[in-house]
Amino acid sequence: MKRRIAVVGIVLLGALVVVVVDQMRRSERVARVGFLGVDSKLQGPRLAALKEGLRTSGYVEGRNLNFEIRWAESQVDQLPRLAAELVDAKVDVIVTALPPAIRAAQHATTKIPIVMTSNDPVGMGFIASFAHPGGNITGPAHPDLQLSVKRLDLLRQAVPGLSRVAILWNDEGFGVDAVHVVEEAARSMKIQTLAVEIRTPEDIGTAIAAAKAWGAQGVLQLFSPLLSAHRRELLDLLVANRMPTICDSHIYTVDGCLMSYGANIDAAFLRMGYYIDRILKGAKPADLPVEITREFDYYINLKTAQAIALVVPTQLQLQATEAIR
């Protein structure tokens, strides 16, 4: 009889534990995270990295975390409206990346915390300083302006006798300041440059023709949501004209750019989970220093190299994070 009573007691205790745990889960506060994206194809994988970073901090989507996601699909002019929607939805924190999206979120609210990743957050006016961001914006940063200098050097190593490089840029991405950084570095390498601004999709063909007529032996692409949205058209023209090109992101290399060098953005989005967790637990963005990402990726597309009749030095191939064959 005593054994039966003990068994029944254990069963009841187990049931009680299940009920208590279930009640705790039900009462657990559900965080609401707004995500403002420029392009779902470009940033979809980044969102997965963000969710993984949040899981590391104990957040499970559908249990104690819900997302409000807005995509502009490269229609930059829609970002202010989408940012306003997230503010109206009263999310706990807004997560975003790329200058036009960060700026739209910044203009939409000064109260809701914003976790971003940016190449030059101080220069673009998103934060006061890396150590003391001030305001409602923080997150990991990546020094992309200086990475453009590294890209130019990689292009020089890949193309024998490189002396003329065309710079493709758009003001909604990395603007004239980034162009000046590349031009200054090119002068030190004794390379002439031609900066070609692309304002609309219709300018892409004209820009490539202008670069070719000028005698460009290589092309350096600066970050731009516009160029990202139309990268297939851009890359097809570059390959057709046999113009070796280095791009800012590996998604270009996958789609046919000869090379790319840039910060590991997945690592940055993974780290954003830490910032979100701290903020949800009461920390203020102004008190969370902006970290600088130190992880970089270098990709080479050897199929493109073959298509433009370029032999990429073995040394560069060995340095690559991945060589696409």
Q: Which helix (H) or strand (E) holds 96?
A: strand 93-97
- Taking all residues of the chain, what is their mean pLDDT, rounded to a whole number? 90
Residue 318, pLDDT > 50, answer yes
Residue 211, pLDDT > 50, answer yes
User: What is the chain's length?
Assistant: 325
Pair of tokens at residue 196: 């070609």
| DSSP-derived secondary structure letter, 281 | T
Residue 9, pLDDT > 90, answer no
pLDDT attached to residue 109: 98
Strand 218-221 relative to strand 114-117, pairing: unpaired
Q: Which segments of 72-213 are extended strands (E)?
A: 93-97, 114-117, 137-138, 164-169, 192-197
pLDDT attached to residue 39: 87
pLDDT attached to residue 4: 55
> Is residue 59 within 8 Å of 29, Cβ to Cβ?
no
Distance separating alpha carbons of residues 241 and 231, to the nearest angstrom? 15
Question: pLDDT band at residue 91, thresholds of 50, 70 and 90?
Answer: very high
Domains of the chain: 30-142+264-294 (3.40.50.2300), 144-263+297-324 (3.40.50.2300)
pTM of the model: 0.78
pLDDT in tens, 15-44: 444 444 444 444 468 999 999 999 888 888
> Is residue 145 within 8 Å of 181, Cβ to Cβ?
yes
Residue 173, pLDDT > 70, answer no
Per-residue pLDDT, averaged over 157-181, amounts to 89
pLDDT attached to residue 25: 45
The three-point CA angle 235-236-240 to 5° equals: 115
Per-residue pLDDT, averaged over 181-191, amounts to 96
pLDDT attached to residue 74: 81
Handedness of CA 208, 209, 210, 215 (dihedral sign): positive
Per-residue pLDDT, averaged over 266-281, amounts to 96
Considering only CA atoms, give the Rg of the chain. Answer: 24
Residue 180 CB: number of other CB atoms within 10 A? Answer: 12
